[in-house]
Chains A and B, each alone.
Chain A
Amino acid sequence: MTSSLPGFLFAIPFFAAVVIPVVGFTNQKFCRPIALGTLVSLSIVSVMGLSEVVSHGPLSHEFGGWAPPIGIEWVVDGLSGLLMVAISIVSLISLVHAGPLVEKELPGRVIPFYSLSLLLVAALGGMVLTGDLFNLFVFLEIGSLASYVLVGVAGGRSLHSAFCYLILGTIGASLYLLGVGYFYAETGTLNMADLAQRLPEVIDSRAVLTGLLFIVLGLAIKMGLFPLHGWLPDAYTYAPNSCTPLLASVVTKVPLYAFVRIAFWVFGMTTVSTQIPILVVLGWVGAVAAIAGAYLAIWQESFKRMLAYSSVSSMGLFMLAFSLGTETGFAGGLFYVLADTLMKATLFGVAGAAFYQCGASTVTDLVRLRQNMPWVSAALLISALSMVGIPPTAGFFGKWHLVVGALEAEKYFAVAAILVSSMLTALYFFRMFQRVWAEPLPLVEAHVLETPFPIKMSLGVLTFGLIALGLGSDLVMGLIFESAIPKGF
């Protein structure tokens, strides 16, 4: 069982993504229970996988009985196990949350919604688990196709943003594929572990340098790194509210994972910081992205667009953290990725709830949250505090480790960038608090529906998770230090 566990982690959601249209054709009501049941079992299996990795070391599975590097290898190690747990649990909560919204927003498109969401989860799992560069490209494209359609599934304005996302995403994937081609031409292998052994001999060649640049550029488009984030604000703003918690929390994190895997595991820390000093460049890009994203977020009227720019800012912070070159910085970055997954799911969940109950979509509309939605307001408050970095939430500990890592590396511009972006984040969230709690209610009373139980429950669980991750940050950081740190620090 354990040797084929990586395969199961992909097969469970993929099989369900195929089964749902078949079963849903006879009765749509079965879609939701199948999807949720699948994700519950996926979460259990991925937690099992992580605990197996922590106690017995990495698991690897060869497909078709061909030993790597000839065959395709899938690996669960500390990093991929941790990401897999985050993906499966957050996607489960997002789909629980989406239930009432799907019926309201996407009537008649329930089957495609659940099927595509599971396909997306399967592809993200495949990207996280695979140990093969070309295999990663295939899953990158499967996942991207599912997310293009999820962005545009509601029709209307979202179609155009989905089309732009598709065009830019395809350019990104093509650049990635081109980079893989350069590596293959130079080394003759696609397996990551094998590539890591063969690269030092040819590290001076221009083909490797160009290939790495293409790969980083392609993945940067996919992860929405400033200034290549063009598709992201529109896609997140106009995508249906039922899809955004899933899209915003995990879809950009997995290309980031692919970058981290290639930079730190295939190339190695010393290579990317000295021989091909790409981390220096990315550190500056990250610092600019963290500040520019937060600055742009201040001026947005639409709540979801504000959160989208906040995602751009977070992506800059991750890049900054991974480029610090210290163990604490790397681990802190990883912790902040996990925290941000929860925060973005909560915040976009709040946006969905506000839309469901009173049609609110702008920051000003959020004043209506005060009327009848204590649960949603509490979730908004706690997740916003976590975004700003107020203890005891997960965001505080994430940023704390980032600052400690930056001080250890003696990179004071990074410390300054983290602090400035946090202050700007505080600015736009406090502006929002002022609208929600300090301004008088509008005279025309909006019709406010009761919060449906699935939304209440999922927001409650996410908020609880944020505080639990904050209080248990020592435990998680211990886990990261023990099993998810690359060699070379």
Chain B
Amino acid sequence: MADIVLYRPHFVAFIILFLLGIYIMVVSLNLVKKLIGMYLMQTSIILFFITLAVKKDSTIPIILSSATAVTPEAYANPLPHVLMLTAIVVGVSTLGVSLAMVIALYRQYNTLEEDQILGKMK
């Protein structure tokens, strides 16, 4: 267990952020706070993927000169970055749609608290 904390601190950070996100989503009654939790959870997954790409003593994956032979070990893995670029777009569009829904709910029920909305629906 101590090994994981010492040598893989990014995994620990990811797990804490992920669980915190889910906790906020479940516990808070305010719809916007729920969305904050949701976005935190999505961002923690982005952190997880990005840390997969890291290598020791590596640089950004741009080949500067074509003269020397390319050694894959010298560059960070670009694929997780590209995947997460797409995942960020997906996350932002989800957030956009959900905020639009929150605005529509607020216009209708004049509150953002879920218990009050449920009370008014009855």
A interface residues with partner B (beta carbon < 8 Å):
134, 137-138, 141, 145, 148-149, 152, 155-157, 159-160, 162-163, 166-167, 170-171, 173-174, 177-178, 181, 184-185
Contacts and interface: CB of A to CB of B under 8 A. Distances in A.
Query: Which 3 pairs show the lowest CB-CB distances between chains A and B?
Result: A141-B90, A163-B101, A159-B105
A180 to B, nearest CB: 9
A8 to B, nearest CB: 23
Contacts of B117: 160
A160 B113 CA distance: 12
B94 to A, nearest CB: 6
B83 A134 contact: yes
B86 interface: yes
Contacts of A157: 121
Interface in B52-104: 52, 79-80, 83, 86-87, 90, 93-94, 97-98, 101-102, 104
A177 B45 contact: yes
Contact of A178 (B38, B45, B83, B118): B45
A163 B25 CA distance: 12
B51 to A, nearest CB: 10
Contact of A166 (B83, B94, B108, B118): B94
26 contacts: A134-B83, A137-B87, A138-B86, A141-B90, A141-B94, A152-B101, A156-B108, A157-B121, A159-B101, A159-B104, A159-B105, A160-B117, A160-B118, A162-B101, A163-B101, A166-B101, A167-B34, A167-B38, A170-B41, A170-B94, A171-B41, A174-B41, A174-B42, A178-B18, A178-B48, A184-B79
A38 B24 CA distance: 43
A163 B98 CA distance: 7
Contacts of A162: 101
A181 B45 CA distance: 9
B38 A134 contact: no
A177 B43 CA distance: 12
Contacts of A155: 104, 108
A145 B38 contact: no
Contacts of B101: 148, 152, 159, 162-163, 166
Contacts of A137: 87, 90
A230 B105 CA distance: 20
Given A156-B108, A163-B101, A138 B94 contact: no
Contacts of A141: 90, 93-94
A170 B42 contact: yes
Nearest to A185: B52
A401 to B, nearest CB: 38
A171 B48 contact: no
Interface in B24-57: 25, 31, 34, 38, 41-42, 45, 48-49, 52
Contact of B52 (A134, A156, A160, A181): A181
B48 A167 contact: no
Contacts of B79: 184
Contacts of B83: 134
Given A134-B86, A177-B87, A163 B94 contact: no
A137 B52 CA distance: 19
B38 A170 contact: yes
A137 B42 CA distance: 13
Contacts of A163: 31, 98, 101-102, 105
Nearest to A160: B117
A367 to B, nearest CB: 27
Nearest to A164: B114
